[in-house]
């Protein structure tokens, strides 16, 4: 049988495990041009929170009793597609389930010789690409600039800071625990970081780290930390809006200080983006990222929940609350 | 004697006439390379409000007892500069005073044959250039898109909407009186407009005018109208932040709903700008604007206070409260 996680109820505030159901259905059969894959790692990501709201986001929402949306690292176990062989490792958007049938267009082959295959859910996958394009194409980072990244110990933020260091920039990050702060400074080489739970005046904290201002802010978090960035931007500063995780689980929307006046005085730019906008350049970017990884210029950690598909909701909720360092994955099965 | 308006006190909330002094000083004498000019029209503009705060804006603030900052349309009455003759009409940044001495670099000659010279304080001056570059270069308007402009009956907004019409766009504006609304629709050719003082639900109002969303928002105003734009943006929408006049005279800063999540779902861009960023392109832009003006494609109104320099504070305060249609000027003297 194929076990799946479906949406039981639209969460109010933080999702609860009871907002999800574990159901069993027969393993599907591939038709011509399709393959059957078995999930090895399931990815849980912040964007999924937006997909289970009632309000439409940038993509279709998950309906009640539908399988949770998401992407997995999987093994081809039966093939009716000439481009894929049994044993191939692929990235597939089949959602939170143990098995899925996919056409060739829905699959991206993974080279398991570059890094452990789990890396394709993180630094060599969507989060790594998000960091790359958000910083370099949206933020238009120039060598030697100053960079601030919120959510800096997460799957995206940890890569943002390392790419900025590769580009010779000064990088400061914020994260939600002392352990995360030491990780990004001591292991990843950020110039500085702070634990936002221990700082009250974010404006003063940023002013201390950036006495001459911030050139590029990569925002994963939103809320009060982001508020404090605008007055600290340099003239012609850029703000790449990747995520707003501090806002996703609020029962009532927040208000905050108005900051658009700073956009004029700083002649600054804010731009929101999706990694999918850059899909025609993903392949070249992954080649460059893999090169940096091999050269030891990029490091990564993963937080892997080992308990199988039934643990996906708990891992998702933990990630939303900041329980992860680096990419949060759920191990579903071993490779055959 | 030369009469000047100086800053008497930093305003709290809306400026009061008592925040300004009228002083008399001797008329200055030009040295080699300089000219003496006599002010014909004085321009009062929203940006001046930011310059009389204690907090530094994008440019130096006016100090107490200093002459108010600003630009005038003036006549050369004495010259020690070979490039300027007595009788030349010029734009000069001498501030709020009847006479001033300026070097050649601080002067821009005005061609009085294109339009009445007062137009060089508005549609053929800084406000017109602000509209032009904000809409076309910052907003990157494309033919046939949808445009919303706040402060649409002002010196900048009224030009924004007309340029958008020249570009074949659908344009809606907001303004603060029924008279302004009829002016921009009936005289300037906006597709629609609304009196923001008579509308409560700006979100619904914008949704009604833009059922498929807003491509470009040109913001002169900020606050609640601007809040309502973000959920109504189209994917890849652009927001050009020119002014935030609703916020300049608040005694306490406002808070508002957080909207950065919409930047992601719309993959949208917000950009603040100053017209001075485009100074290398001002001349070509003015040629194009003058062509449109001659062809009857651009129209303008002015609100001219006739009472001389002593009326400049009152005209400034009235403009901040929306008392003007089109460009607010103060007539200081007749041409010799």
Please check whether residue A292 lies inside any domain of the structure.
no
Distance (Å) from the alpha carbon of B54 to chain A's nearest alpha carbon: 15
Domain count, chain A: 2
Distance (Å) from the alpha carbon of A218 to chain B's nearest alpha carbon: 13
Q: List chain B residues with pLDDT less than 50.
A: none
The CATH code of the domain that includes B222 is 3.40.50.720
- In this structure, the answer to whether residues A245 and A314 fall within a common structural domain is no
| Residue A178 CB-half CA count within 13 A | 1
- In this structure, the answer to whether residues A141 and A220 fall within a common structural domain is yes
**Closest residue by Cα to residue B25 from B2, B53, B58, B54:** B2
- In this structure, the answer to whether residues A62 and A186 fall within a common structural domain is no
- In this structure, the answer to whether residues A91 and A116 fall within a common structural domain is yes
- In this structure, the answer to whether residues A135 and A212 fall within a common structural domain is yes
Both tokens of residue B87?
A: 């009788």
Please check whether residue B142 lies inside any domain of the structure.
yes
- In this structure, the answer to whether residues A248 and A152 fall within a common structural domain is yes
CB contact under 8 A, B243 and A264: yes
With beta carbons less than 8 A apart as the criterion, state whether B253 and A260 touch. Answer: no
* Segment B260-274, tens digit of pLDDT: 999 999 999 999 999
Distance (Å) from the alpha carbon of B187 to chain A's nearest alpha carbon: 30
Both tokens of residue A190?
A: 């950020």
- The per-residue DSSP string of B135-169 comes to IIIIS---TT-EEEEESTTBTTHHHHHHHHHHTT-
Please check whether residue A252 lies inside any domain of the structure.
yes
- In this structure, the answer to whether residues A167 and A100 fall within a common structural domain is no
Q: Is the pTM of this model over 0.80?
A: yes
- In this structure, the answer to whether residues A253 and A136 fall within a common structural domain is yes
- The confidence score (pLDDT) of residue B57 equals 66
| Chain B positions in Cβ-Cβ contact with residue A266 (cut-off 8 Å) | 58, 272
- Searching chain A, which residue's CA lies closest to the CA of residue B263? A272
**Closest residue by Cα to residue A243 from A202, A272, A263:** A272
C-alpha to C-alpha distances, A142 to A136, A137, A168, A216, B144, nearest whole angstrom: 8, 10, 9, 9, 34
- The confidence score (pLDDT) of residue A55 equals 74
- The confidence score (pLDDT) of residue A57 equals 66
Distance (Å) from the alpha carbon of A269 to chain B's nearest alpha carbon: 4
Please check whether residue B64 lies inside any domain of the structure.
yes
Please check whether residue B187 lies inside any domain of the structure.
yes
| Chain A positions in Cβ-Cβ contact with residue B261 (cut-off 8 Å) | 50, 222, 244, 247
| Chain A positions in Cβ-Cβ contact with residue B57 (cut-off 8 Å) | 265
Any idea which residue has 């929940």 for tokens? A305
| Chain B positions in Cβ-Cβ contact with residue A263 (cut-off 8 Å) | 241, 270-272
| Chain A positions in Cβ-Cβ contact with residue B222 (cut-off 8 Å) | 258, 260-261
The CATH code of the domain that includes B105 is 3.90.180.10
CB contact under 8 A, B274 and A264: yes
| Average model confidence (pLDDT) across chain B | 96
As a whole number of angstroms, the distance between CA A33 and CA A79 comes to: 8
β pairing state of A233-241 and A214-219: parallel
- In this structure, the answer to whether residues A206 and A86 fall within a common structural domain is no
- The confidence score (pLDDT) of residue B104 equals 84
| Chain A positions in Cβ-Cβ contact with residue B241 (cut-off 8 Å) | 260, 263-264
CB contact under 8 A, B58 and A264: yes
Looking at A230, A260, A276, the residue that finishes a domain is A276
B206: containing domain: 126-276
| Chain A positions in Cβ-Cβ contact with residue B267 (cut-off 8 Å) | 58, 271-274, 277
CB contact under 8 A, A265 and B223: no
Please check whether residue A257 lies inside any domain of the structure.
yes
Please check whether residue B193 lies inside any domain of the structure.
yes
Please check whether residue B9 lies inside any domain of the structure.
yes
- The confidence score (pLDDT) of residue A286 equals 95
- Searching chain B, which residue's CA lies closest to the CA of residue A226? B260
Could you tell me which residues of chain A have a Cβ less than 8 Å from any Cβ in chain B?
Answer: 50, 57-58, 219, 222-223, 226, 235, 241-244, 247, 253-258, 260-274, 277
| Chain B positions in Cβ-Cβ contact with residue A58 (cut-off 8 Å) | 235, 264-267
- In this structure, the answer to whether residues B69 and B137 fall within a common structural domain is no
Longest C-alpha distance within chain A, in Å? 62
Distance (Å) from the alpha carbon of B142 to chain A's nearest alpha carbon: 19
Could you tell me which residues of chain B have a Cβ less than 8 Å from any Cβ in chain A?
Answer: 50, 57-58, 219, 222-223, 226, 235, 241-244, 247, 253-258, 260-274, 277
- Average pLDDT along chain A, 336 residues, taken 10 residues at a time: 97 96 98 97 96 79 96 97 97 97 92 95 96 98 98 98 98 98 98 98 98 98 98 98 96 94 97 96 96 96 96 98 96 95
- In this structure, the answer to whether residues A39 and A153 fall within a common structural domain is no
As a whole number of angstroms, the distance between CA B275 and CA B158 comes to: 16
- In this structure, the answer to whether residues B131 and B146 fall within a common structural domain is yes
- Searching chain B, which residue's CA lies closest to the CA of residue A138? B269
Distance (Å) from the alpha carbon of A128 to chain B's nearest alpha carbon: 17
Distance (Å) from the alpha carbon of A264 to chain B's nearest alpha carbon: 4
């Amino acid at each position: 049988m194929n076990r799946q996680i479906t949406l039981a109820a639209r969460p109010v505030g933080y999702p609860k495990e009871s907002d999800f159901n574990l159901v069993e259905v027969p393993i599907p059969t591939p038709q011509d041009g399709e393959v059957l894959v078995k999930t090895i790692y399931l990815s849980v990501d912040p964007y999924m929170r937006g997909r289970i709201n009632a309000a439409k986001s940038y993509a279709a929402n998950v309906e009640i009793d539908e399988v949770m949306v998401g992407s997995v690292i999987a093994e081809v176990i039966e093939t009716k597609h000439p481009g894929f062989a049994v044993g191939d490792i692929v990235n597939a958007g089949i959602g939170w389930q143990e098995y899925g049938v996919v056409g060739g267009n829905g699959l991206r082959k993974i080279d398991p010789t570059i890094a452990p295959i789990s890396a394709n859910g993180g630094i060599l996958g969507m989060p790594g690409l998000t960091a790359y394009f958000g910083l370099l194409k949206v933020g238009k980072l120039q060598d030697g600039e100053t960079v601030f990244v919120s959510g800096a110990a997460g799957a995206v933020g940890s890569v943002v800071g390392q790419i900025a260091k590769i580009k010779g920039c000064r990088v400061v990050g914020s994260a939600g625990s002392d352990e995360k702060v030491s990780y990004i400074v001591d292991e990843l080489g950020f110039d500085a970081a702070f634990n936002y739970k221990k700082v009250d005046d974010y404006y003063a904290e940023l002013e201390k780290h950036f006495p001459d201002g911030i050139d590029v802010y990569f925002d994963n978090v939103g809320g009060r930390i982001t508020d404090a960035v605008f007055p600290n931007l340099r003239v012609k500063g850029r703000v790449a809006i990747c995520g707003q995780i501090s806002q996703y689980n609020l029962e009532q929307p927040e208000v905050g200080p108005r900051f658009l006046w700073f956009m004029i005085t700083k002649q600054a730019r804010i731009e929101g983006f999706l990694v999918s906008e850059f899909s025609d350049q993903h392949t070249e970017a992954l080649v460059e990222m893999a090169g940096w990884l091999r050269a030891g210029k990029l490091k990564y950690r993963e937080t892997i929940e080992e308990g199988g598909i039934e643990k996906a909701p708990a891992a998702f909720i933990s990630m939303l609350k900041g329980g992860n360092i680096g990419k949060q994955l759920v191990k579903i099965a071993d490779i055959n």
